[in-house]
A and B are shown apart, each in its own frame.
Chain A
C-alpha cells in the first residue's frame, strides 16, 4: 500500500511569514494526526481528526496554527505568523482506528522540516 505522503520535505521561512504543509493519508484510514517533533524530543500531538471532524486540538497553538481536513481525506496544517520556536519537523500520521478502538498503529509520513529564521 502507498504510505502517508507529505509535502514539502523542507521549508525555510523568515519569522512572521506564513507556511502550509500538506498530507495525504493511507487510503481508508479514518484518523489523521499532525505531530510536531522538536530536535531532541519526542513527537507532540498538535491535532487529531476522525474523518473530517476534530477529535483533539488541545495542544494546537490556535492563535497561529490552523488545520483542516475538509473531505475527510487529505489535510493541511498552516502556521501564520511563524515564530523562531516553530522550527521543527512536522509529522503527519494516519491510522485505521475508529472511535471505539484506538489500538491500531500509526503510519507516519517522512515529515516536513521547517526552519524559521
Chain B
C-alpha cells in the first residue's frame, strides 16, 4: 500500500531564512508527487508536482521541491520565507504504475509552517 510521511508536525523559521518541509513516500511503482498548501478555513491549493524528468521542480509562490528517488523523498523548499507562507502543507503521492481507476491520491498528515518576523 502506498503511504506518505511528513515527520514534522510543525516547522518554525524566521522571515528571510530558507525553509524546508520534509516528505518521504512509499509506492510500488514510480511516484507522482504533489505539494498542497492549506490556509485557515480554506481548501487545499496546489503548489507543485513531480511527474517525470528534472528532479528539481519549481512551483507557485517561489516554492520548489527536489525529488530524490534513492531516499524516496520529495522535500519542499523556499530560499527566503515570508510571514504570509505560514500555513499547513500537505505532501501527496500517486502510484503511476496503477491504472487510472486504481490510482488513489494519498495525503500525508500535514506540516504546519510558522514564519515569524
Contact = CB atoms under 8 A, between A and B. Distances in A.
Contact of B100 (A40, A99, A107, A111): A99
Given A42-B90, A102-B32, A103-B32, A111 B43 contact: yes
Interface in A4-53: 4, 6, 33, 40-45, 48, 50
Nearest to A44: B107
Contacts of A33: 105
B90 to A, nearest CB: 6
A23 to B, nearest CB: 11
A98 B44 contact: no
A61 interface: no
A93 interface: yes
Q: How large is the interface on A (under 10, 10 to 19, 20 to 34, 35 or more residues)?
A: 20 to 34
A85 B32 CA distance: 31
Contacts of B44: 43, 91, 93, 106, 108
Contacts of B34: 105
B93 to A, nearest CB: 11
Contacts of B99: 99-100
Given A45-B105, A103-B51, 9 more contacts: A42-B110, A44-B107, A45-B104, A55-B101, A91-B43, A99-B101, A100-B100, A106-B105, A108-B36
